[in-house]
């Protein structure tokens, strides 16, 4: 199968992924997304540009590295923080502190950080480079497993995503595309022959509310879901259940009705209850997390929603 060895920008490759489609998989995470979901658990995926991440727990102190990160920053955005006890209890150390208003994401500090406490979120690569990395995991692709291309929104880097899918398809590897559905229908038509299963998000059925909580309306997303269903795609619909945002029973009933209207194309619906695990990532990027007062939905509520989806004849599960 003819493909092009184009460049792409990713921020992670995770092996032994058991929540990104059937079986044991390896997931490639592309960088950049047109949505800004308030509950996003991968903020490093949102912007296509590289960003400075900082893990203070890995910083061993400015004295040990002789102020390397401070000296490397041309904007003076890196300084010494207040003294704290070293992890090995050897004494007080002064870790790096980032002034995000001064930082321009030049990333020069990451080049000299010996512990990678300061790091760039993402790197550029090629289809061939990612393919060779994925082949190392092929022996683990059991129980219908394979590769999932995720993000961010992988359709936002269409040339890279499509050519990677072509290369994988030619090798007989099962391919999932984890997508928000927010892209031109013509692009979904082009990539459809190379995708075995679409992991497809339906976040809210009201377009005004959808725009309020994600930054974009839902018309294109629903249109593309219908297109894929009508043209032979297999869909695994993912429905985030976010308290105060998507959890109204009327919205979830409309979502179930929409999923049912797609017919046999929908192989599974997964209900995704809100969780807090992504909050620490915002701190690493120096961002403010907007849902600080939101708690995960109760088990009883989720079980009731599960039963409601199943009442429409849908194969549905809690994720």
CATH number at residue 112: 3.30.70.20
Q: Are residues 130 and 210 in the same domain?
A: yes
In which element (H, E) is residue 25 found? strand 25-30
Indicate the DSSP class of residue 28.
E
Q: What pLDDT band is residue 203 in, cutting at 50, 70 and 90?
A: very high
Query: What pLDDT sits at residue 126?
Result: 98
Of 60, 93, 120, the residue that ends a domain is 120
Q: Which burial class, exposed, middle or buried, applies to 298 when counting CB atoms under 10 A from its CB (0-12, 13-18, 19+)?
A: exposed
Domain limits at 88?
52-120
Q: Are residues 172 and 306 in the same domain?
A: yes
CATH number at residue 215: 3.20.20.70
Q: Are residues 163 and 71 in the same domain?
A: no
Q: Are residues 253 and 111 in the same domain?
A: no
Q: What is the largest CA-CA distance in the chain?
A: 66
pLDDT, tens digit (0-9, with 9 covering 90-100), for 20-63? 999 999 999 999 999 999 999 999 999 999 999 999 999 999 99
pLDDT, tens digit (0-9, with 9 covering 90-100), for 190-199? 999 999 999 9
What's the rounded mean pLDDT across residues 127-134?
Answer: 98
Q: Are residues 129 and 107 in the same domain?
A: no
| Domain contains 1 | no
Strands 92-93 and 84-85: antiparallel
Of 95, 120, 145, the residue that ends a domain is 120
Q: Are residues 93 and 202 in the same domain?
A: no
How large a percentage of the chain has pLDDT more than 90?
96
**Which value, in Å, is the radius of gyration of the alpha carbons in the chain?**
22
Look up the pTM and report it: 0.95
Domain count, the chain: 2
DSSP string, 50-66: --EEE-GGG---TTTTT
Q: Are residues 11 and 67 in the same domain?
A: no
What's the rounded mean pLDDT across residues 223-235?
Answer: 98
Which residue is associated with the tokens 């961002």? 287
Q: Are residues 75 and 221 in the same domain?
A: no
Which residues of 61-122 form beta strands (DSSP E)? 78-80, 84-85, 92-93, 96-98, 118-120
Q: Are residues 89 and 184 in the same domain?
A: no
Of 101, 120, 139, the residue that ends a domain is 120
Q: Are residues 104 and 193 in the same domain?
A: no
Mean pLDDT, the chain, as a whole number? 97
Determine what percent of the chain falls in helix, strand and coil, rounding each to the nearest 5: 35, 20, 45
3-state SS, residue 119: strand
Q: Which of 259, 270, 266 has the alpha carbon at shortest distance from 232?
A: 266
Q: Are 236 and 229 in contact (CB under 8 A)?
A: no
Query: What pLDDT sits at residue 87?
Result: 85
Q: Are residues 199 and 311 in the same domain?
A: yes
Least confident of 217-226, 234-243, 278-287: 278-287
> What is the C-alpha to C-alpha distance for residues 141 and 149, in angstroms, rounded to an integer?
15
pLDDT of 278 higher than 90: no
Query: What pLDDT sits at residue 89?
Result: 86
């Amino acid at each position: 199968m003819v493909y092009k060895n184009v460049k792409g920008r990713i921020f992670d490759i995770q092996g032994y992924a058991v929540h990104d489609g059937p079986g044991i998989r390896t997931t490639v995470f592309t960088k950049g997304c047109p949505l800004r979901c308030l509950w996003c658990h991968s903020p490093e995926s949102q912007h296509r540009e590289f960003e400075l991440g900082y893990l203070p727990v890995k910083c061993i102190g400015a004295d040990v590295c002789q102020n390397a990160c401070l000296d490397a920053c041309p904007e003076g955005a890196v300084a010494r923080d207040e003294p704290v006890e070293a992890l090995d209890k050897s004494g007080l150390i002064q870790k790096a502190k980032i002034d995000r208003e001064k930082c321009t994401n030049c990333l020069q500090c990451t080049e000299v950080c010996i512990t990678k406490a300061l790091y760039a979120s993402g790197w550029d690569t090629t289809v061939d480079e990612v393919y060779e990395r994925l082949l190392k995991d092929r022996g683990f692709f059991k129980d219908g497993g394979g590769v999932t291309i995720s993000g961010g929104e992988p359709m936002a880097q269409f040339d890279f995503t499509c050519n990677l899918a072509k290369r994988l398809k030619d090798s007989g590897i099962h391919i999932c595309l984890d997508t928000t559905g927010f892209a031109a229908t013509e692009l979904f038509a082009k990539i459809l022959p190379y995708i075995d299963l679409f992991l497809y998000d339906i976040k809210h059925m009201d377009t005004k509310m959808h725009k309020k909580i994600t930054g974009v309306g839902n018309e294109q997303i629903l249109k593309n879901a219908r297109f894929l269903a009508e043209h032979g795609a297999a869909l695994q619909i993912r429905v985030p259940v976010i308290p105060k945002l998507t959890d109204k029973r009327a919205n979830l009933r409309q979502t179930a009705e929409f999923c049912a209207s797609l017919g046999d194309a929908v192989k599974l619906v997964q209900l995704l209850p809100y969780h807090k695990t992504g909050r620490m990532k915002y701190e690493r990027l120096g961002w403010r997390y907007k849902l600080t007062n939101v708690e995960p939905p109760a088990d009883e509520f989720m079980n009731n929603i599960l039963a409601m989806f199943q009442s429409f004849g849908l194969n549905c599960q809690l994720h």
